[in-house]
Chain A
Amino acid sequence: DTGVSQDPRHKITKRGQNVTFRCDPISEHNRLYWYRQTLGQGPEFLTYFQNEAQLEKSRLLSDRFSAERPKGSFSTLEIQRTEQGDSAMYLCASSLGGAVRDQPQHFGDGTRLSIL
C-alpha cells in the first residue's frame, strides 16, 4: 500500500492560467474524491468517482472545473481561467466502495495552489 499520491505538491500560477492536478489513488480503491480546503476550514467536497464514472459534483464545482478518471485509476482535476479565489489546498482521497460502506477515506498530501 503506497498510499494516495498527488502531483504536484505546490503550484504557483498567474490569474487566468489553466492548471491540472493529478491524483493516484490506492490501487484497489474504486472510489475517488476531490476536496478543496482553505485556511482554517475543513475539506469541502468537490466531486466523486466510482471507477471511471463521475457520480456526484458539488455546486462548488463551477464550469471552470473539470475532473476525469478515464480508466478508473488515476484522476485529474483541471481548473481553467484561474481566479484568486481558487487559491487553496486540493485534496484527493480514495476508499473502497460498493457494499463496504464503513470504510474511511485515505487522503493524499494535497496540491497547494497559489494564484498570483
Chain B
Amino acid sequence: AQSVAQPEDQVNVAEGNPLTVKCTYSVSGNPYLFWYVQYPNRGLQFLLKYITGDNLVKGSYGFEAEFNKSQTSFHLKKPSALVSDSALYFCAVRFTYNFNKFYFGSGTKLNVKP
C-alpha cells in the first residue's frame, strides 16, 4: 500500500542543538513530499515541499529537508532548534497518479527544551 511513515512519536532536543524529524514513504512512481507544522488547537501550516530538482529544500523558519530517493526518505532538519519550534510535525505525500489527495503521517511531537 502507498503510505507515509513517521517512525518517531516524539523527538526531544535541547535548544541550540540540531534537530531531525524522520519521514519515509512507500510508493511506486514519483511522489511530491511536504512538511507541515501544527500548533495546539490550530490547523496545519505549510513548511516546505519537494517536487523535483535539488534534493535539499529550504523552507520557512529555518527548516530544511533532504529527499533521498534510494532510502525513500524525506527527513526534516534544522541546524539550531528554538523552544518555539516545539509543535507537532506532519510529513505528507502526494502521488503523481492522484493529485486529489494528500496522505499524512501520524505526526511527530517535537519538544525543544531550554
Contact = CB atoms under 8 A, between A and B. Distances in A.
A13 B110 CA distance: 33
Interface stretch (A14-22, A42-50, A63-71, A78-86): A42-50
Given A40-B107, A43-B104, A101 B99 contact: yes
Interface in B48-107: 49, 51, 90, 92, 99-107
Given A42-B106, A48-B100, A56-B100, A102 B32 contact: yes
Interface string B25-44: 00000001010100001111
Contacts of B17: none
Interface residues of B, number: 22
B45 interface: yes
Contact of A4 (B43, B51, B104, B106): B43
Contact of A45 (B41, B42, B102): B102
A56 B44 contact: no
Interface in A2-59: 4, 6, 33, 40-45, 48, 55-56
Interface of B: 32, 34, 36, 41-46, 49, 51, 90, 92, 99-107
A56 B43 contact: no
Contacts of B51: 102
A: contact size bracket: 20 to 34
Contacts of B106: 40-42
A4 B99 CA distance: 20
Nearest to A48: B100
Contacts of B46: 104-106
Contacts of A6: 43
B41 A108 contact: no
A56 B34 contact: no
B43 A91 contact: yes
A48 B94 CA distance: 14
Contacts of A33: 102
B102 A102 contact: no
